A and B are shown apart, each in its own frame.
Chain A
Amino acid sequence: MVLGAETVFIVDLLAIFAVYVIVNLSLNLEFGYTGIPNFGKVLAVGAGAFVAASIPGRIFASLAGIEGDYISDNLLIVSQINVWLVDNVGIGFVVFFLTLGIAAAVGGGLGLLTSYPAIRLRGDYLAITLLAFGESIRIIGNNFTPLVGGTLGVQIPDPLSFLPNEIRFPVATLGMVLIAIVVYVYSERMIRSPLGRLLRAVRDNEVAAESLGKNTTQIRIKVIMVSAALAAIGGALYAFYVGGTIAFAYDRASWTFWPFLMILIGGLANNKGVIVGTLVFVTLRKLIIYFKDSFEGFVPFDVVWLDFLLLGIILLVVLLYRPQGILTEKPTPTIFPKGDSKTSEGFWSKKLNLKKLKRKP
Chain B
Amino acid sequence: MAFDPIFSDAIIFSSLLALLSIGLSLTYLTTRVPNFAHASFATIGVYIALIATRVWDVVPYLAIPIAFVISGLVALALYHFILKPLIRKGASQAIQMIATLAFDLVVIALLNITADFIVKTFQVTSREFTLRSYDGEFMGLPLIVFVAPITIAILAISLHIVLRKTKFGIAMRAATQNPDLAETVGVNVKLVYGVSWILGGGFAGIAGALMSLWFLGDPNLGPLLIPSVFAASIVGGFLSIYGAIAGGIFVGLTEVLGTRFLAGEFGSWLIAYRPLIPLVFIVVTLLLAPRGLAGINWSRLRRNGSRS
Which residues of chain A are near B89, meaning CB under 8 Å?
320, 323
Among the 9-residue stretches B101-109, B191-199, B207-215, the one with 4 or more Cβ atoms under 8 Å from chain A is: B101-109
- Residues of the A chain whose Cβ atoms lie less than 8 Å from the Cβ of B104: 312
A60 interfacial contact with B, CB 8 Å: no
**Contacts A124-B33, A131-B230 supplied; 6 other A-B pairs, CB < 8 Å:** A123-B94, A132-B227, A264-B95, A301-B117, A315-B102, A323-B95
**Nearest-neighbor residue (CB-CB) of B98 within chain A:** A260
Cβ of B143 < 8 Å from any Cβ of A?
no
Contacts of B51 in A (CB 8 A): none
Task: Choose the segment among A81-89, A135-143, A158-166, A193-201 that binds chain B (4+ C-beta atoms closer than 8 Å).
Answer: A135-143
Q: Is the CB of A139 within 8 A of B273?
A: yes
B230 pairs with A301, CB closer than 8 A: no
User: Which of the segments A17-25, A214-222, A302-310, A332-340 contacts the partner chain?
Assistant: A302-310
B283 interface residue per 8 A CB criterion:
yes
Q: Are B102 and A309 in contact (CB under 8 A)?
A: no
Interface 1/0 per residue, A105-118 and B, CB below 8 Å: 00000000000110
Bound CA–CA A135/B226 (angstroms)? 11
Given contacts A300-B120, A305-B112, contact A129 B103 (CB under 8 A): no
Check B116 for interface membership: any CB of A closer than 8 A. yes
B residues 105-135 near A (Cβ < 8 Å) are 105-106, 108-110, 112-113, 116-117, 120-121
In the bound assembly, the distance between CA atoms of A312 and B97 in angstroms comes to 13
Interface residues of B (CB under 8 A from A): 32-34, 82, 85-86, 89, 91, 93-95, 97-99, 101-106, 108-110, 112-113, 116-117, 120-121, 223, 227, 230, 234, 269, 272-273, 275-276, 278-279, 282-283, 286-287, 290
> What distance in Å separates the Cβ of B126 from its nearest Cβ neighbour in chain A?
11
Given A117-B286, A142-B272, A320-B85, decide whether A253 and B105 contact each other with a Cβ distance below 8 A: yes
Interface of A is mostly: helix
Contact with B along A291-326 (1 / 0, CB 8 A): 000000000111011101101110110011001000
Give chain A residues whose Cβ lies under 8 Å from the Cβ of B230. Answer: 128, 131-132
**Are the CB atoms of B94 and A252 closer together than 8 Å?**
no
Of B32, B89, B105, B283, most buried by chain A (CB within 10 Å of CB) is B105
7 residue pairs from A and B, CB less than 8 Å apart: A253-B105, A261-B102, A305-B116, A308-B105, A308-B106, A309-B110, A311-B105
- Beta-carbon nearest neighbor of A320 in chain B: B85
CB distance from B11 to the nearest CB of A (A): 25
Q: Are B91 and A323 in contact (CB under 8 A)?
A: yes
Report Cα–Cα, A253/B223, bound state, in Å. 9
A93 within 8 A of B: no
In the complex with contacts A308-B106, A319-B102, A135-B97 CB distance below 8 A: no
